[in-house]
Amino acid sequence: MVLVALAAAAAVHADSPRLLHSERSLYREVLVYQTGDQRCMCFTRNCRVGRQSCMDMKHPDHFELNYTRMMLGALYLKPQPRSVLVIGLGGGTLPRALVRLLPDVSIDSVEIDPAVVRVAEKYFDFSPSERSRVAEQDGRVFVKRAIRERRRYDLIMLDAFDHEYIPEHLLTQEFLREVKSLLAPDGVLAANTFSSSRLYSHESVTYASVFGTFYNLKRENRVIFATNGTLPDLPTIATNSRIHEAKLRTFGIETETLLPLFSTRADWNAKARVLTDQYSPANLLNLE
Amino acid sequence: MHKLAAFGLSRLRMRILLPYLIAGWSGFFVMAVELLGGRLLAPTFGSSIYVWGAIITIFMLALSLGYLAGGRYSMHAPNVRRLGALLLIAAATVVPILLFGEAMLDAVAIAVPDPRFGSLLASLALFGVPTFFSGMISPYAVRLLVHDPRNAGRHAGQLYFVSTFGSAAGTLLTSFYFVLILEVNQILISLLAISAVIGMTAVMQKGDEVQA
């Protein structure tokens, strides 16, 4: 009996989160916890709600979080992007997977917080290379400069928001117009955002004002897919989903789970006010 | 003016009230503009910590120089009309932000690629002048209130209170409520309108200069 109890206690101990790293960066606290084999980057002590990025140490390619799985659904719209921009690095899950998946891809990642880049490299097996570069910069500053340099991306992944704080200048009509002009013809924007709060309607009408109809995937997070061109219809999406199916399955991404999430239904208040550089109280709207 | 007079405010009362009102409103105005400054710079320079650092640096620098100038200016025939004029000038020099702000920000961003010094230069160009004139107001108002050196500390203390309390109110109301209701430029225009009303009230005051 005592032995069983001790063993149970030991098992509980092994499964309680261990703090591997914490540092106060210029912007926030960056924490790394490990529970069993799962290692997560968090920006708050309450790691359960604020997980930015997670990795299974035994299967590092496996996608642990639903939203990152949903983000790779962008490949159903754009199966072979040659140039990708990732805004918001986190643990580097997205660029790491894209490099594995697409042999010819060239990726720029932008991360405002140098501490996040360091932690991604040290704890999440993220290694920048010639094909996968990192700029420590504000996302919007990078986008503006890239437009001036006449660069174009086939795929732009916007993953810069967390529950604690939204960079409000990355959620305005003007910013989305800039992103659209940075997309190659028929390029795709994938944005990881929110599915609840008053912000939902404001965000939706803002995206609609720039991109027209877009795909809206909802689970605990919300992922938006919009294009600079015509939005591929659902049969095309279903056909495209087979292209990387086998490889994506090794990442834990199942076509049968992801495909049914694709929806163009406008389930928001169309009269909500569009967010602009002049009017962007996103954090206040996200309080409720 | 007539309305205020109808409330039974004597000319003497207005002499005391107006410097406090102007200093309090100026404190409100400065902090509201500073907060909106972050909003104005973010699309071009981002919301990195150094952008806020640049904005705060320019506001502190401009205020400090304004204090110096305001103190000097109060040496020559000080009166409440001139205090009102300072408030009007501070408001008028915000108008270029409304008209050319975006073009100016883009030009600076292209000329200065380093976003730290870019945001510093942009803050200087946009906010340096209005903040300088706002800074002139407090020491000038102290001069109008102090008639007896024994009361100088008390008046200065009360004026700091009113001015900094105004700053606190401007910060809170702008960041909690105004941005939720109005666009940045609409808030700026409202601030200008209030400055214009208060400033004109002071400018229209009749009466003698404060005795040296």
CATH number of the domain encompassing residue B190? 1.20.1250
Predicted pLDDT at B1: 47
pLDDT the model gives residue A10: 47
Nearest-CA distance from A172 to chain B in Å?
A: 9
Q: What is the pLDDT of residue B101?
A: 94
**Is 60 exceeded by the pLDDT of residue A97?**
yes
Annotated catalytic residue, options A56, A159, A186, A277: A159
Query: Minimal Cα distance from A170: which residue of B?
Result: B43
Share of chain B above pLDDT 90, in %: 84
B176 contacts in chain A (CB < 8 Å): 284
Say what angle helices B11-45 and B152-173 make with each other, to 10 degrees: 40
Task: Give the residue among B128, B144, B136, B142 at the shortest CA–CA distance from B209.
Answer: B144
Q: Is A278 on the interface with B (CB under 8 A)?
A: yes
Please tell me the predicted confidence (pLDDT) of residue A26. 83
Long-range CB pairs of B93-102, under 8 A, 24+ apart, other chains included: B93/B129, B93/B130, B93/B133, B94/B33, B94/B130, B94/B188, B94/B191, B94/B192, B95/B192, B96/B126, B97/B40, B97/B126, B97/B127, B97/B130, B97/B188, B98/B185, B98/B188, B98/B189, B101/B40, B101/B126
Residue B212 lies in a domain: no
Q: What's the ipTM?
A: 0.83
- Per the annotation, the verdict on A159 as an active-site residue is yes
The pLDDT assigned to A43 comes to 86
**Residue A192 burial (CB count, 10 A):** 23
Tens digits of residue pLDDT in B153-196: 999 999 999 999 999 999 999 999 999 999 999 999 999 999 99
Tell me which residue in B45, B48, B182 faces A112 most closely, judged by beta carbons: B48
With residues binned 3-state (H G I as helix, E B as strand, rest as coil), the percentages for chain B, rounded to 5, are 85, 0, 15
Q: Round the average pLDDT of chain A to a whole number and report it.
A: 90
Region A270-287: mean pLDDT is: 93
Parse chain A into domains and list their residue ranges: 66-285
Q: pTM score, two decimals?
A: 0.88
DSSP-assigned states of every residue in A231-283: PPPHHHHHHHTTTTHHHHHHTT--HHHHGGG------S-TTSPPP-SSS--HH
What count of residues does chain A have? 288
Q: Can you give the pLDDT at residue A62?
A: 84
- Give the side-chain half-sphere CA count within 13 A for B6: 3
What are the chain B neighbours of A277 within 8 Å (beta carbons)? 39, 42-43, 184
Candidate from B45, B110, B182 with C-beta closest to A141: B45
Whole-angstrom distance, CA of residue A280 vs CA of residue A285: 9
For residue B46, being part of any structural domain is answered with: yes
Is B37 inside any structural domain?
A: yes
Q: Cα B10 from chain centroid?
A: 27
> Residue B46's closest chain A neighbor by CA?
A138
Model pLDDT for residues A46-67, shown as the tens digit of each residue:
776 667 789 999 888 888 888 8
Euclidean distance between CA atoms A109 and A163, whole angstroms: 21
Average pLDDT over residues A192-202: 86
pLDDT digits (tens, 9 = 90+) for B54-78: 999 999 999 999 999 999 999 999 9
DSSP B69-138: HHHHHTTSS--HHHHHHHHHHHHHTTHHHHHHHHHHHHHHHHH--SHHHHHHHHHHHHHHHHHHHHHHHH
Task: Calculate mean pLDDT across residues B129-151.
Answer: 96
Token pair, residue B127, equals: 């906010």
Query: Which band of pLDDT confidence, cut at 50, 70 and 90, is reported for residue B14?
Result: confident
In sequence order, what are the beta bridge partners of A32?
A: A21, A41
Q: Which domain holds residue B105?
A: 2-203
Report how many domains make up chain B.
1
Cβ(B149)–Cβ(B41) below 8 Å: no
Q: How confident is the model at residue A11 (pLDDT cuts 50, 70, 90)?
A: very low
Whether the predicted pLDDT of A220 surpasses 50:
yes
The pLDDT of residue B8 = 52
Q: Residue B208 falls within a domain, yes or no?
A: no
Is it the case that residue A9 has pLDDT exceeding 50?
Answer: no
CB A137 within 8 A of CB A112: yes
Instruction: Evaluate whether A157 touches A77 at the Cβ level (below 8 Å).
Output: no
Does residue B121 form part of some domain? yes
Q: Which residues of chain A lie closer than 8 angstroms to B42, CB-CB?
A: 140, 168-169, 277
| Nearest in space to A206 (alpha carbons), one of A244, A143, A158 | A158
**CATH number of this structure's domain A66-285, picked from the four choices 3.30.460.80, 3.30.360.10, 3.40.50.150, 3.50.50.60:** 3.40.50.150
Percentage of the residues of chain A whose pLDDT score is greater than 70: 93
What is the C-alpha to C-alpha distance for residues B63 and A173, in angstroms, rounded to an integer? 35
- In which band, very low, low, confident or very high, does the pLDDT at A196 lie, cut at 50, 70 and 90? confident
Tell me whether residue B38 is in a domain.
yes
H/E stretch holding A217: strand A215-218
Max CA pair span of chain B:
58
What per-residue confidence (pLDDT) applies to A166? 87
